[in-house]
Amino acid sequence: MGIGVLGATAVTGTEAAEEAAKKAEAGGLPQLDFSTFPSQIFWLAVTVIVLFWLMNKIALPRIASVLEERADAIADDLDRAEEFKRKAAEAEEAYQQALADARAKAHEIVAETKAEIQKDVDAAMAKADAEISARSAESEKRIREIRASAMAAVEEVATDTAGAVIESVLPDVMDADAVKSAVRARMN
Amino acid sequence: MAVDKEPKGEGGLEIHPMDQFAIKPLFGDGDLGILTITNSTMWMALVLAAVSALLILGMRGRALVPTRIQSVAELLYGFVRQMVTDVLGEEGIKFFPYIFTLFVFILFSNILGLLPYSFTVTSHIAITGVLALVIFCTVIVIGFMKNGLGFLKLFWIEAAPLPLRPVLAAIEVISFFVRPLSHSIRLAGNMMAGHAVLKVFAAFVPALSIFGILPLAMMVAVTGLEVLVAVVQAYIFAILTCIYLKDALHPSH
């Protein structure tokens, strides 16, 4: 067939002829062309053995170690987080304790200060009271003196008046001492 | 789009949805020997590079608070580890690197295969078949090593009434030996079908000119679906591996 074809088409012609021959040999399906089997099987064996070696010696151990490292790291991190949580709880407790202490101390200081101020106030009050009572005693004393002098003046005036009245009415019986004692008796 | 349409024109809509699965040598075009480097080899190397970039370079920082890439790597690790311990229990941890390798290899093959012009390693039955057969043999070897002949209890269901047991045993044996087949074809089939559907829709886009927007919209939707399928199929492959290994560890139901 290829012999009959001329010139430019010769190349494609022989190719087509070759393929046709191959197909006839293979029964149409390239999969059933048994002449390709030895080559396919040989290279399959080489490929699979190399692939198996690469996987078994390099890839799989590497992936396994990475996964294990990650699992370890995660477990570690969880442990650490637990630790931190515990520490945080401790710190919170300490803070609450400090707060309670500070509050108690503040109360104490307030009470102390209050007591001190109270004491000062009491002292001032006592002093003021003493002054007030001293002053009022003095005033009373003065009032008493004024009243006494007033009484004395009244007595003198009454005595003089009574003396003058008796002297003008009964000059014979005039006794200054008797008048004085009589006026004093009437006054009290 | 319109320019593309002209040369093909009305001459006939040619769709080759299976061409994307062809395995071609990258250098030269001789016969395929066992050591020949093909597009499949290249995409396996790209899967290896992408997985290494995510899981080794992405984890380089070993950050306590992960970067975005690092958390993707860690999510992937956690997801597969959870799956292994859920199904196999704590004793299944020793299978974890193996299942993880399988899961990321299939997941990245599926997802890289969704890139335009890429090649989906897991769309080939040779690849998924070998993976499934290795798991099947591992289950048998571990089953007999751990339980001796007690492993055969897997087929002898003591919970069932005695007359039913031979019938169930026959069914169990058949289903056990079908496992590698279903295990591998499920994955390859899903990948192949999705990519073929995308290719068919893609061929309609230039052919329909302005109405090509409709298959284009479909392609967007199907691509979204395919992303889901890529992840789900990797998950199914890995969890079935766990379930089969559980049979090896605890054969009695």
Q: Model confidence over A97-133: pLDDT tens digits? A: 999 999 999 999 999 999 999 999 999 999 999 999 9
Which residues have a Cβ under 8 Å from the Cβ of B44 and sit 6 or more positions away?
A: A43, A44, A47, B109, B121
Sort out which chain B residues have CB atoms less than 8 A from A70's CB and list them. Answer: 64
Report pLDDT for A15.
53
**Could you say which of B59, B70, B101 has the minimum Cβ distance to residue A48?**
B101
Best A19, A23, A47 residue to mutate vs chain B (most B CBs within 10 Å): A47
**Residue B97: partners with Cβ closer than 8 Å, 6 or more residues away:** A52, A55, A56, A60
Residues contacting residue B100 through CB under 8 Å, at least 6 positions apart: A55, A60, B77, B80, B81
Residue B97 has pLDDT above 60, yes or no: yes
User: Could A69 and B62 be called an inter-chain contact, meaning their C-beta atoms sit closer than 8 Å?
Assistant: yes
Cβ neighbours of A43 in B, within 8 Å: 37-38, 40-41, 44
Torsion region of B65: left, alpha or beta (phi above 0 gives left; psi -120 to 50 gives alpha): beta
What ipTM, to 2 d.p.? 0.86
**Composition of chain B by helix, strand, coil, percent to 5:** 80, 0, 20
Residues of A with CB under 8 A from a CB of B: 19, 22, 28-33, 35-45, 47-48, 50-52, 54-56, 58-60, 62-67, 69-70, 73
B134 exposed, middle or buried (CB, 10 Å; 0-12, 13-18, 19+)?
Answer: middle
Closest CA to B204 of B218, B191, B190: B218
The type of residue at A20 is: A
Cβ contact B112:B46 at 8 Å:
yes
Per the DSSP assignment, residues forming a β-bridge with B25 are B38
Secondary structure of residue B61 in the 3-state scheme: coil
Q: What backbone torsions phi and psi does residue B38 show, to the nearest 5 degrees?
A: -115, 180
Cβ-based neighbours of A10, under 8 Å, separated by 6 or more:
A2
Chain A residues with beta carbon closer than 8 angstroms to that of B40: 36, 39-40, 43
CB contact under 8 A, B23 and A39: yes
State both tokens at B70: 């690092």
Best of A31, A35, A70 to disrupt the B interface (most B CBs within 10 Å) is A31
pLDDT score at A14? 52
Q: Do B74 and A67 touch (CB under 8 A)?
A: yes
Mutation pick from A51, A53, A57, A74 vs chain B, by most beta carbons of B within 10 Å, is A51
CA torsion, points A68, A73, A79, A80, in degrees to nearest 10? 170
Top pLDDT among A183 and B89 is at B89
* Among the listed residues B120, B126, B148, B170, the one whose alpha carbon sits nearest the alpha carbon of residue B251: B148
Per the listing, tokens 């992936």 go with A63
CB-based contact B48 A62, cutoff 8 Å: no
Give the gap in angstroms from C-alpha A65 to the nearest C-alpha of chain B: 9
Instruction: Tell me which of B34, B84, B101 to substitute to probe the interface with A (most A C-beta atoms closer than 10 Å).
Output: B101
Calculate the dihedral angle through the C-alpha atoms of A20, A24, A27, A28, rounding to the nearest 10 degrees: 10
What pLDDT score does A4 carry?
39
CB atoms within 10 A of CB A28: 11
Using one digit for the tens of pLDDT, what is the confidence trace for B184-237? 999 999 999 999 888 888 888 888 888 888 888 999 999 999 999 999 999 999
Residue-wise pLDDT tens digits, B11-70: 456 677 787 888 888 887 777 778 888 888 999 999 999 999 999 888 888 888 888 999
Query: How near does any CA of chain B get to the CA of A97, in Å?
Result: 42
Residue B253 confidence class, pLDDT cut points 50, 70, 90 = low
- C-alpha to C-alpha distance for B126 and B133, rounded to whole angstroms: 10
Asked if the model's pLDDT at residue B251 lies above 50, the reply is yes
What are the structure tokens assigned to B41, written together? 């080899």
Q: Which residues of chain A have pLDDT under 70?
A: 1-27, 188
Q: Closest Cα of chain A to B71: distance in Å?
A: 10
| HSE-CB of B25 using CA atoms within 13 angstroms | 12
Q: What is the pLDDT of residue A136?
A: 94
Please tell me the predicted confidence (pLDDT) of residue B9. 41
pLDDT above 70: percentage of residues in chain B: 94
End-to-end CA distance of chain A: 184
Q: Do B77 and A50 touch (CB under 8 A)?
A: no
Q: How far apart are CA B125 and CA B130, in angstroms?
A: 8
Contact A50 B23 (CB under 8 A): no
Q: Do B246 and B35 touch, CB atoms closer than 8 A?
A: no
User: What is the pLDDT, as a whole number, of residue B66?
Assistant: 86
Asked whether B31 and B42 are in contact (CB, 8 A), the reply is no
CB contact under 8 A, B55 and A52: no
